[in-house]
Amino acid sequence: MPHKVAIIPHLDMLTPEAEAIGAVNTIFIRNSPSGKRLLCGTNTDCIGIREAIWRNVDREMVKGMMGKKGDGDWGRAAVYALKTYMECEEVYLVNRDRSEVEQVIKECQSKGFGNGLRFVATVEEAEALEGPKVVVSAIPDFPPKTEEEIRTRRMIATLLGNKEKGAILEMCYHPSPNTAIAAISRKSGWQVIEGPEAMIWQGLEQDKVWLRRRVSALPVEKVKEVIAAKLSKPRL
């Protein structure tokens, strides 16, 4: 960001995913019936989120109520994946800034996948909610300092502390996937799916678009080995 949005006016067409999410992370070329070269934009972040979850949990678990935290491009991609691919009935949104969440909800509603989105505003509200089954966290890994940040962290801990546990996809993986949210999740008994998993699958989806190959024809295991080796190296 902001290039994922700024590029859109310069493209000839968008895929349904990019149109719905309102952000492009992949550009590819196709020819029109007249032979004109078209610059096309798509969004593979939603595929990365979908595959990271589906390949690590029972698909039956992700039906029904689900939770989501974060905002911005990854936030919209997460909502799109949860509502469109996984057919969630309700999605919780937790963020320090109400206006940002309201904007995300407004945009999602205008694109047709905004039903059942709920902004969670207080710890008391989080305590009263039915616990989520799957969480997508897109929150930067910084210690909370402001009153809003501290309240948001408490709401997260409250939702993760529900007696029913599930899986959390922690999208923050830089500089390390061992984030504070991941630590809270593990301590609370949740299955943690680390962010590089989504990064891998969104990248493989890009290769599908660029190379016109099925994922089964791509070096999936080699990609996983390279990423794992990179993550295992100590960071300065």
The per-residue pLDDT for range 27-39, each reduced to its tens digit, is: 999 999 999 999 9
State percent of the chain over pLDDT 70.
Answer: 92
Q: What is residue 138's predicted lDDT score, i.e. its pLDDT?
A: 87
Q: What does the pLDDT read at residue 140?
A: 87
Identical fold for domains 1-43 and 47-196, yes or no, is yes
pLDDT digits 0-9 by tens, 67-116: 555 556 678 899 999 999 988 889 999 999 999 899 989 999 999 999 99
Q: What tens digit of pLDDT does each residue of 169-211 get?
A: 999 887 788 899 999 999 999 999 999 999 999 999 999 999 9
What's the fold here for domain 1-43? Rossmann fold (3.40.50)
Task: Give me the chain's average pLDDT, please.
Answer: 90
| CATH number of this structure's domain 47-196, picked from the four choices 3.40.50.720, 3.90.640.10, 3.40.640.10, 1.20.1260.10 | 3.40.50.720
Percent of the chain with pLDDT over 90: 73
Domain coordinates of the chain in residue numbers? 1-43, 47-196
Please compute, for residue 171, the number of CA atoms within 13 A of its CA located in the half-sphere on the CB side: 25
- The pLDDT assigned to 68 comes to 55
pLDDT (0 to 100) of residue 70: 53
124 CB neighbour count, 10 Å cutoff: 9
Element (H, E) at 198: helix 195-211
pLDDT of residue 155: 94
Task: Return phi, psi of residue 88, to 5°.
Answer: -70, 140
Separation in Å, CA 106 to CA 65, 81, 82, 119, 160: 20, 17, 17, 12, 26
